[in-house]
Amino acid sequence: MHMLVNCSNCRIPLQLPAGATSIRCAVCQAVTEIADPRSAAAPPPPLHHPSPHNHAPPGPPPSAHGSKKAVICGISYRYSRHELKGCINDAKCMRYLLVNRFKFPESSIIMLTEEETDPYKIPTKNNLRMALFWLTQGCQPGDSLVFHYSGHGSRQLNRNGDEADGYDETLCPLDFETQGMIVDDEINATLVRPLPRGAKLHAIVDACHSGTVLDLPFLCRMNRSGQYIWEDHRPRSGMWKGTNGGEAISFSGCDDDQTSADTSALSRITSTGAMTFCFIQAIERGHGATYGSILNSMRTTIRNTGNDMGGGAVTSVISMLLTGGSVSGGLRQEPQLTSFEPFDVYSKPFAL
């Protein structure tokens, strides 16, 4: 069994391989020396060995107490039977949006894609886990956190009785076929439950079966009158899936039971990049005032994907980056909104 030790620089939990006497942090690159792998004694000060492959912005690693932080993950699964075409473009577009529209410092954004030359920023299961730990590490009131994921999603049978539909939703890192998927229970425990009062997390998840992939307790539905209402998805077991007083809200690409025409969740994504495109376009077209206006805009665009896709600066960047039509006709998906608590989607202002 791997022992967990805290990085001596940024304090992120790291899995120490059996017998190892040191470990390099996947986030800040500091090397933590372990005097005795069987002991959890406090490690000595970090030894910094900059990686020749580290292309992170110059200067110190992102502050654990920065007011705005983001993890952006785009996985294309290239050279595999699961290959997707638009996910890395989605990641680039989301970074552009966060930096230019919402003033996120570039140094406080961790990018995980196959194009990264730093081996610790390839979207493997371990690297994605470490990035998610980093996102909430040291979170303070006033912090705004964003997690964006574009890639494959799936689901598996739930065995602890905390899912209404009997399935856990999952994200599929690059090495999921050998290392396994990341389950919604873990995502909830890492991103949602630690959030303190005054902090907020927004997740934008563009994947199959992604409706409740953060395991948030409330799901927004539209009733027969065309009004948004909240469904209570709290588990019967009574297990708490909300926050520690903070706000956690997720936009996702489709409902938990939606996938592509092929019944296999991993054969191809419902529509590569469509959800990310529609989210960014909602902001660009001035529909980003409230959560309800964003959701309406996204759902309208999904239904009318053959119409004009003109927009603002970010949308123009998307048009340049997209290769091969990430938004195609005949989409079988409805963007979803889940939350830590019910709220009036028509009046609550949206802000990152």
Residues 80-119: pLDDT tens digits? 888 888 899 999 999 999 999 999 999 999 999 999 999 9
pLDDT of the residue at 297: 92
**This prediction's pTM:** 0.73
What's residue 272's pLDDT?
44
Residues present in the chain in total:
352
Q: Which tens digit of pLDDT belongs to each residue from 39-80?
A: 333 444 443 443 333 333 444 455 545 589 999 999 999 988
* CA proximity to 271, closest of 313, 301, 250, 312: 301
> How many CB atoms are located within 10 Å of the residue 139 CB?
23
Return d(Cα 46, Cα 10) in angstroms, integer: 10
Whole-angstrom distance, CA of residue 258 vs CA of residue 182: 19
- What amino acid positions are annotated as catalytic residues? 152, 208
CA distance linking residue 89 with residue 75, whole number of Å: 10
Confidence of residue 312 (pLDDT cuts 50, 70, 90): very low
Q: What pLDDT is stored for residue 165 in this prediction?
A: 56
Res. 204: pLDDT tops 70: yes
Q: Over the chain, what is the mean pLDDT? A: 77
Spatial CA neighbour of 121 closest among 88, 145, 169, 153: 88
289 or 317, which is more confident: 289
Half-sphere exposure of 327 (CA within 13 A, CB side): 25
Cross-strand bridge partners of residue 154? 170
